Amino acid sequence: MTSKAKIHLDRVAKTYPGSKVPAVDELTLDILEGEILVLVGPSGCGKSTTLRLINRMIEPSGGRIMLDGEDVTKANPDKLRRRIGYVIQQIGLFPHQTIAQNIGTVPKMLGWDKKKIAARADELLATVGLDPEQYRDRFPKELSGGQAQRVGVARALGADPDIMLMDEPFGAIDPITRDRLQNEFLRLQEELHKTIVFVTHDIDEAIKMGDRIAILGERSTIRQYDTPERILAYPVDDFVNDFIGTGSTIKGLNFQQVSSLTLPDYPAIRPEDSADVARGKLDAAGEEWLVLLDDAGHPQRWLSTDDVAAGPSTYGEKGEEVGDTLNQDDTLFTALEHMVQSAAGKSCVVDESGRFAGVVEMAHLNKAIRRAQYEAQRHYEEMERA
Site string for another protein, 105-124 (x = CB under 8 A): xx--x---------------
Instruction: Identify which range of 24-32, 144-152, 196-204, 220-228 contacts another protein by CB under 8 A.
Output: 144-152
Q: Is 331 in the site for another protein (CB under 8 A)?
A: no
Question: Which of the stretches 66-74, 98-106, 116-124, 349-357 binds another protein when contact is defined by CB under 8 A?
Answer: 98-106
What string marks each residue from 178 to 207 as x (binds another protein by CB under 8 A) or -?
Answer: --x---------------------------
* C-beta closer to another protein: residue 142 or 283: 142
Told to check if 176 binds another protein by CB under 8 A, we report yes
Q: Which is nearer to another protein, 78 or 384 (CB)?
A: 78
Q: Shortest distance, CB of residue 110 to another protein, whole angstroms?
A: 9
Buried b (16+ CB within 10 A) or exposed e, 237-253: eebbeebbeeebeebbb
Q: Give the Cα separation of 68 and 80 in Å (integer).
A: 12
User: Could you give the CA distance from residue 27 to residue 380 in angstroms, rounded to a whole number?
Assistant: 20
Query: Based on CB atoms, which residue is closest to another protein, 69 or 175?
Result: 175
Distance CA 183, CA 177 (A): 10
Q: Which stretch binds another protein (CB under 8 A): 97-105, 186-194, 200-208, 319-327?
A: 97-105
Q: Which of residues 225-254 bind another protein (CB under 8 A)?
A: none
| Residue 284 interacting with another protein (CB under 8 A) | no
Q: Which of 74, 28, 362, 36 is nearest to 216 (CA)?
A: 28
CB of 56 to another protein, least distance (A): 10
Binding mask 43-82 for another protein (x = CB under 8 A): ------------x-x--------------------xxxxx
Q: Is 151 in the site for another protein (CB under 8 A)?
A: no
User: By C-beta, is 50 or 55 nearer to another protein?
Assistant: 55
Minimal distance in Å, beta carbon 119 to another protein? 19
Q: Give me the least distance between CB of 18 and another protein, in Å please.
A: 15
Nearer to another protein by Cβ, of 159 and 213: the residue is 159
Closest by CA position to 9, among listed 44, 41, 45, 49: 49
Q: By CB under 8 A, tell whether 94 contacts another protein.
A: yes
Least distance (Å) between residue 358 CB and another protein: 40
Nearest approach, Cβ of 105 to another protein (angstroms)? Answer: 5
Binding test (CB under 8 A) with another protein, winner from 36, 173, 282, 372:
173
Instruction: Report if residue 174 touches another protein, rule: CB under 8 A.
Output: yes
Tell me the pairing of strands 24-32 and 5-14: antiparallel
Contacts with another protein by CB under 8 A lie at: 55, 57, 78-83, 86, 88, 90-98, 105-106, 109, 134, 138-148, 155-156, 158, 165, 171-174, 176-177, 180
